[in-house]
Structure 1
């Protein structure tokens, strides 16, 4: 059985690499461009991809392909409907980021709520040394205790972030789906969360319904001028509108670990404001603690072995059920 990993460079060097117990021929590619996918998957039975897109047109030209292992929870880079049509099983990894993503979200929240970036730069620039007193107040500092944390997305990662917020005395609320006709028990109306939250953290998949879910109307409604945190998917937020919201002081700060295009292109509007003390952009590493990456790898191998035994696990389409 031939196995190809299309973007092996997305797995960190600390991971202890194991391989499936069954006989196989394994090929690693550091990265794969869109025009290389078809050629590299010819004759392959198992494809591993983290972010490389496997489109419908490519899938229809791969009669040998039987399993796609997505090295992530999100699987919007694979055409699931076509996989179902062709009988290709798609398995993702789940639960591996239960600690790392919420911790990263709160690293961003802490840094921005207490203006750590701005104050660190002040010391580097010599501002403290020239202050003439033991401290100074160039940037706002606010407590987390007593503030409202609005969580958009109530899955494992949203709940993990909520638990940390509750531990710090925050008033945590889960947003009902945008445009929902009714509010479920345990949820708060979308508009109320947008209007009243001091911190808003996104933990929802990118789908046609959620793409661009935070844009100009939402920023205009953010009366509390919140910190906006996105450790989920870049396409959830209109990035040009985000820059406008920062310019217009409709939000206090932005902490993003994900962007619409990754790596970002030179025309990404956020790249022009990285020197601001209330903006932090990290390169999609919220998922990548050493512990989480090892768990992810171990799951990938188990999915291949289970598929080989005839019992696919974590199938996201109908083909493996």
Structure 2
């Protein structure tokens, strides 16, 4: 079996190992793959592993031997699933591997908004405390999370984990989800927007959710609200978020994802006030990537043994 990995560096920059795959056949690893070279790189492959590389119908037509695509992520919208079904190609993903890590980053963002930790640390390191006439000072208002309302848009594994953490802080959680269920405070989207002190997005990207955070929805939020996006960049209309930050419609935006990644220098959010953006790191903890790789390897092993798991095609 010829196995080709198209984005080896993203998952494994050198601290993990793809060597267990060698038990299944020959392995070719490309650290990064330009989109125009995808078909060339995988032309004679039996199995490929991808992360964000787009696999279109046209590319599949140039790969007569391809039988398996292992997505090294939970989301698989980069794959033409219908074309894979037509050609009998098995596609697998890795569900739920990053639940804890993403929820952790959500609360890193929330805590930064509430405490402005880096702002005050930078101030101290610049000598401001040494010059202070008082034993303490603060440069922005601080916020206590106890009693605040957290709106969760999307209530899968990550959304539910975020809710558990929020409860430990004494926060009230309200939820908007496609499948309301007992035991959670289900509300409609407009209520989520108007009542939440913090809103965190955890919905998949679909035609219905794309651009759901826009000028109209932002206008329904509290002016003191904090918006967090660790799900998919296109859930928000970035130019509308920038305007909302500029004119004070909302107080804060934090994101680990943007509409086009890597971020482009014409992105509306570059230089935005009261905004934190991290470079899609929520999944990148060593433990998280190790868990991902273990499942990726097991997915391929199971396929070879005729018992495929985590199939999405």
Instruction: Give TM class, smaller chain.
Output: over 0.9
How many Å apart are 1:269 and its aligned residue? 1.4
Contact kept? 1:18, 1:301, Cα under 8 Å? no
- Once residues 44 and 135 of structure 2 are traced to their aligned partners in structure 1, the CA distance between those partners, rounded to angstroms, is 68
User: 2:60 is matched with which residue?
Assistant: 59
- Once residues 132 and 151 of structure 2 are traced to their aligned partners in structure 1, the CA distance between those partners, rounded to angstroms, is 37
The one-character-per-residue Cα deviations of 1:10-48 (angstroms, maximum 9, x if unpaired) are: 114332444237441100001111101000010101110
**1:170-185 mapped onto 2 (5 Å cutoff):** 170-177=171-178, 185=182
Contact kept? 1:216, 1:245, Cα under 8 Å? yes
- Once residues 268 and 124 of structure 1 are traced to their aligned partners in structure 2, the CA distance between those partners, rounded to angstroms, is 31
User: 1:199 is matched with which residue?
Assistant: 198
By relative contact order (CA 8 Å, sep 6+), the higher-ranking structure is: 1
In the alignment, is residue 73 of structure 1 matched against residue 74 of structure 2?
yes
TM-score normalised by length of structure 2: 0.94
The one-character-per-residue Cα deviations of 1:83-142 (angstroms, maximum 9, x if unpaired) are: 111111110001211211101111111011212232223223333333321222320110
- Once residues 226 and 63 of structure 1 are traced to their aligned partners in structure 2, the CA distance between those partners, rounded to angstroms, is 52
Q: Higher mean Cα deviation, 63-72 or 124-133? A: 124-133
User: 2:133 is matched with which residue?
Assistant: 132
Structure 1 pair 191/184, CA: closer, same or farther in 2 (3 Å)?
A: farther
How many Å apart are 1:209 and its aligned residue? 1.7
Structure 1: runs of 5+ lacking an equivalent: none
In the alignment, is residue 302 of structure 1 matched against residue 309 of structure 2?
no
In the alignment, is residue 104 of structure 1 matched against residue 105 of structure 2?
yes
Q: Higher mean Cα deviation, 182-191 or 217-226? A: 182-191
The one-character-per-residue Cα deviations of 1:149-203 (angstroms, maximum 9, x if unpaired) are: 11111110111111100111100111144xxxx9665421111001110111111
- Once residues 5 and 45 of structure 1 are traced to their aligned partners in structure 2, the CA distance between those partners, rounded to angstroms, is 11
* RMSD of aligned residue pairs (Cα, Å): 1.7
Q: How many residues are paired up?
A: 310
How many Å apart are 1:248 and its aligned residue? 1.5
Structure 2: runs of 5+ lacking an equivalent: none
- Once residues 164 and 108 of structure 1 are traced to their aligned partners in structure 2, the CA distance between those partners, rounded to angstroms, is 13
- Once residues 76 and 210 of structure 1 are traced to their aligned partners in structure 2, the CA distance between those partners, rounded to angstroms, is 14
In the alignment, is residue 243 of structure 1 matched against residue 216 of structure 2?
no
User: 2:208 is matched with which residue?
Assistant: 209
The one-character-per-residue Cα deviations of 1:188-236 (angstroms, maximum 9, x if unpaired) are: 1111001110111111111222111111111100025311111111111
How many Å apart are 1:148 and its aligned residue? 0.5
User: 2:38 is matched with which residue?
Assistant: 37
- Once residues 51 and 32 of structure 1 are traced to their aligned partners in structure 2, the CA distance between those partners, rounded to angstroms, is 10
Q: From 274, 280, 296, give the equivalent of 2:276.
A: 280
In the alignment, is residue 144 of structure 1 matched against residue 140 of structure 2?
no
**1:4-23 mapped onto 2 (5 Å cutoff):** 4-12=4-12, 13-20=14-21, 22-23=23-24
